[in-house]
Amino acid sequence: MEYANIYFLGIGGIGMSALARYSLHEGRRVAGYDRTPSALTEALEAEGAAIHYEEDVRLIPEAFLDPATTMVVYTPAVPRDHAEYRYFLEHGFRIEKRSQMLGHLSAGKYVMAVAGTHGKTTTSTLVAWLNRALTGGGSAFLGGVSKNFDSNLVLGGGARLAVEADEFDRSFLRLYPDVAVVTSADADHLDIYGTHEAVKEAFSQFIGQIRPGGSLIIKQGLDLRIDNPGITVWRYALDTPCDFYAARVRLLEGGHYRYDIVTPDGVIADCTLGVPGWVNIENSVAAVASVWCAARHEGVALDAERLREGLASFAGVKRRFEFYVNTPKQVYMDDYAHHPRELAATLLSLRRMFPRRRITALFQPHLYTRTRDLCDGFAEALSHADEVVLLPIYPAREEPIEGVTSEIIAERVTVPCRIVPREALADTVAAMPTDVVVSFGAGNIDACCGAIAEKLKQKA
């Protein structure tokens, strides 16, 4: 890419920050804007990025005001009337979405893309970790902070590039993968897509962009149009026999599992994943299928012992099934889940891990449109808990919608449910009779995790 300077609008986002760090690594100057500082922006500033937090054209560094030397990358969450976006548009700068930039950076790589309305972050992060365990190299752009790499960006040798393919704003249609995993295609982002059928059509388009000779790894039972004959289609499942699945699943202490992974080449016996949870077994099967396809492409066989070591040493992703307290008397974990299917999957996993124990779910709805469109599903999923505490809706990029509040979920939940302000959450939980507690949400509920954990540790 010919530009010496890259300016990021929304530089603090998980995907944008990875692109910014990669650009710094490649020797380019980086600057950008975000609404609020965070651990990600602080790390970028420490590495040399110039970042400001006020929407003000005058704060753009002078070196980034020349359209001949500066390219602008923006996230769809930035509104089109943003002052800095308008400035760059009116002055002839090359402006690209984050997904377009990622498409450029993936050129010449063996792209291993993981898509899905849920499960994609953990699965893509595990693909990246298994690439490292099996080959010693591999790069990745991830949608969450990997605990193994302590980053959402992985820089390594070799051609393998693991990418989280995001369906939001149809961003994943900028990618042309060699191997693609599709974990799910549920009704989500309906403020963009309008209907569930439109969501499924976008996933079918993504599948259609797999490179000739490549592979699709798709969840068993997922009904999507597949009409590119030049690819190989593999099905995977949790424990339903198909191309890739788990067998002889045994629960271990602390919610971990031991299981065999069945592949077209045979059985990889006695695998133990480093993170707990029934739902993560399925994610691991998809990840193993992905690296199996990569090895097949390279003409080598999977090293079963290294694979087992990679699975066992996987530390997970921050805010994905992340345990803060795990004792016989008190359990607390946090999860990024913000769709009904994700909530239900996690709560049912907890039921399997901690049978006959009382589960309290804390949930912050994300977006007014998602709450409006999926309130019945949220209520049904949350009713798998024994008690529910809701926070007010986190608006993110949206303006309020009349009549859409957390109340429309609360009134449909079939177990005891209350609504509290975020600042009162930790004290509310401390005063409740708790056993297993799980917090959910894609907003800022995670800012409460430390305080909740401390109070529950005291109770334990």
**CATH number of the domain to which 356 belongs:** 3.90.190.20
CA separation for the pair 92, 437 (Å, rounded)? 52
371: in domain: yes
Residue 5's SS3 state is strand
With beta carbons less than 8 A apart as the criterion, state whether 440 and 346 touch.
yes
Count structural domains, the chain.
Answer: 3
Give the C-alpha separation, 407 to 84, whole Å: 37
Q: What is the CATH number of the domain that holds 268?
A: 3.40.1190.10
Same domain? For 50 and 156 the reply is no
- The domain of 229 spans 106-312
Q: Which residues contact 367 (CB under 8 A, 6 or more apart)?
A: 191, 393, 394, 395, 396, 397, 398
pLDDT recorded at residue 356: 87
77 lies in the same domain as 124: no
Residue 295 CA to residue 312 CA, distance in Å, equals: 20
Q: Among 63-77, 189-203, 397-411, which is the least confidently predicted range?
A: 189-203
Task: List the structure tokens of 421.
Answer: 């302000």
Pairing assessment for the beta strands 5-9 and 70-74 based on DSSP bridges: parallel
Name which of 25, 31, 168, 6 is nearest 96 in CA terms: 6
Q: Look at residue 44 and tell me if it is in a domain.
A: yes
Q: How far apart are the first and last CA of the chain?
A: 55
Residue 265 included in any domain:
yes
CA pair distance 393, 406, nearest whole angstrom:
6
Which of 259, 287, 312 is the last residue before a domain boundary? 312
- Residue 30 in any domain: the answer is yes
Q: Is 240 exposed, middle or buried (0-12, 13-18, 19+ CB in 10 A)?
A: exposed
Max Cα separation, the chain? 64
Q: When comparing pLDDT for 189 and 4, which is higher?
A: 4
Q: Are residues 151 and 202 in the same domain?
A: yes
CB neighbours of residue 82 within 10 Å: 16
Please say if the pLDDT value at position 338 is more than 90. Answer: no
Extract the tokens encoding 3: 């530009």
**pLDDT, tens digit, 9 for 90 and up, residues 95-128:** 998 878 888 888 889 999 999 888 889 999 999 9
Same domain, yes or no, for 113 and 256?
yes
Same domain, 85 and 134: no
DSSP state of 175: -
Same domain, yes or no: 363 and 300:
no
Q: Residues 87, 157: one domain?
A: no
The pLDDT, as a whole number, for residue 323 is: 86
- Do residues 152 and 193 both lie within one domain? yes
Cβ 109 vs Cβ 22: under 8 Å: no
Mean pLDDT over the full length of the chain: 91
Contacts of 324 (CB under 8 A, 6+ apart): 332, 333, 334, 449, 452, 453, 456
User: Residues 127, 84: one domain?
Assistant: no
317 located within any domain: no
Question: Does residue 234 share a domain with residue 117?
Answer: yes
* CA 430/CA 179 separation, integer angstroms: 47
* Residues 63 and 127 grouped into a single domain: no
Q: Which of 278, 312, 346 is the last residue of a domain?
A: 312
pLDDT digits (tens, 9 = 90+) for 290-328: 999 999 999 999 999 999 999 999 998 887 778 899 888
Look at the alpha carbons of 119, 122, 125, 129 in this order and tell me if their dihedral is positive or negative. negative
Q: Are residues 71 and 165 in the same domain?
A: no
Within-domain flag for 304: yes
Mean local confidence (pLDDT), 11-39: 90
Residue 193's pLDDT band (cuts 50, 70, 90): confident
The structure's pTM equals 0.74
CATH number of residue 45's parent domain: 3.40.50.720
Domain end: 312, 345, 370, which one?
312
Q: What is the mean pLDDT of residues 223-251?
A: 94
